[in-house]
Structure 1
Amino acid sequence: MEDRKDGDEVPVSLERLAGFAQTFGGEGVRELNFYHVKEEEEEQVMLEELKRLFCEKLENGEGQSHRGEHPGCDQNEAQGVQIPDDAFLITCLRVWQYSVHDAARVAANFARFRTRQGWPYRLSASSLQRELLSEVHWLLPGEDRAGRGVIVYNAHKIREAVSAGATVCGLQQMGALLLEVALGRPGVPERGVVAVVDARGVGLDILGRFSVTDMGRGVAMWKDSFPCKIKKIHVIGLPWPLQATCSLILGLLSAKLRGRVSVETGTTRLAEEVGSGNLPKELGGELELDWKGWVMSSEELQRT
């Protein structure tokens, strides 16, 4: 399959792609659904190269020093940052469509960020129970019409969550945890995620809930530091007093990501792109979302 740049349109149908795979053999491909997943043996070869590049980036100062545990890491230069586990690194490979250099860059940035912040590489649902039950974030059970995961940021719930004892740092970890869960779903590493920011009813007082450190952390945790491609960001009902702040935040994003942000007054477009059946009633859909019930009983969440 020809390599594509992120965001390129796919002009052919799945049926035609499947036909090509049958005609030309399709060796080394386990799944054909816009993207391909390589055979395990080929992935393992790439995984070893990724580990080598990861350590090289640390040695060159592209990751924070930490004790490397993979052959080839210089012990003096790589003190403090441990290499992530194989499952995480394979996710990096799949997200970046087997570009080993891109996967190594993101893995090194991820390790550097988590080490600096004192965050574990694998976040735990049990340690974030209060934040999860706050409903500041939702991970929807279904996908949008393009097969992408959907995560919702309920900005209006931040005030109540912080008043109840949650920290902004904990809420940020909650968002990262839910994206880790999303990446465990078939197809999401390859297709990416859609983010929905529900800003309806949010006032200027919300800014007082975030310190400069919180804001910097919130940008750094996603800026080329996590193996998940955000394909679209819907900002719903942004009050005019916060529009200037929104512009400042957008200015911190890459031009490509800024181009994926859509500021909308209502939920009509969102319902069209996600599908009413997969969208909670609170966002103009038909889905009865029992979020707290899911938090308490979800097997995929408890596996984290």
Structure 2
Amino acid sequence: MSQLVSVLLSGVAYGVPIFLVASGLTLIYGVIGVLNFAHGAFFVLGALLTASLLGGATPSLVMFILAVLAGGLLAGAVGLVTEMTVVRRLYRADHMTMLLATYAVLLSLEGASEVVWGTDSRSQRQPELLAGDVRVAGAAITMYDLVLVVVGIVVAVGLWLLINRTRSGRAVRAIAQDATMAQAIGINAKTVLLLVFGFGSLLAGVAGALMAPNVAISPSLGNAFILQCFAVVIVGGLGSVEGSLVASVLVGIAETAAVAYAPVLTGFTFYILVAVVLVLRPQGLLGNARVRRA
């Protein structure tokens, strides 16, 4: 029983960074209609800057939080530049053109990261205060993983409140439903699209920074990680942030369960989930109507 609890908690913790990236992907697609491959690069930028600022040493909790924020802000700033210089020019292009353009941005940012940080992998230690294990329902889980679970809950609730209970959220939903009508009633669509893209990129950077203590960090990290995030978006349903949360948890639990009970499936569980969901519910777990292009 304790192993099952450990698998569940570790799976949720594993899914939190995926959710942060996937929620940004989902938000950008839901409002703008862009399948953004560059998100993988924003994720890596957050991780690389965090590891660079902390130097791989064991940081204090305050220093770690500041480094995570810095990683998120860097990714958000690069996201804003990407929207203004590349994405904005292609809003009326087809999805394939946009996907290829954002993949080109991914490759460009990966190359720039190699110039700045080199090609060698690096590691980052957890904050000293979050080291060690705690016991939950008889199962041992690292304190850092437990904090990731809490962060995931806070971000999920915060996103829901932002989208559904604020004036900014109403403007975002209006643009997503009908950009032309939203502009007719005074909403600045260009500004909303820019901020949504930047905020989604910031979430990816924060996810990379939070993931830094758990992975080998290199400029190519985003290539593999972005596949899991797209799987989450597909499983949860295009345009559904709630679906991304559910799918992230499922992907995380499936992967940790594979490690514990079926090692041969490690690394393939999200492919299996995607296949099953596409067969049983093509629109995703919480997907509904087709999202309008902005």
TM-score by length of 2: 0.25
For the pair shown, the structure with the greater C-alpha radius of gyration is: 1
Whichever structure has more strand as a proportion of its residues is 1
Higher relative contact order (CA 8 A, sep 6+): 2
Whichever structure has more helix as a proportion of its residues is 2
TM-score by length of 1: 0.24
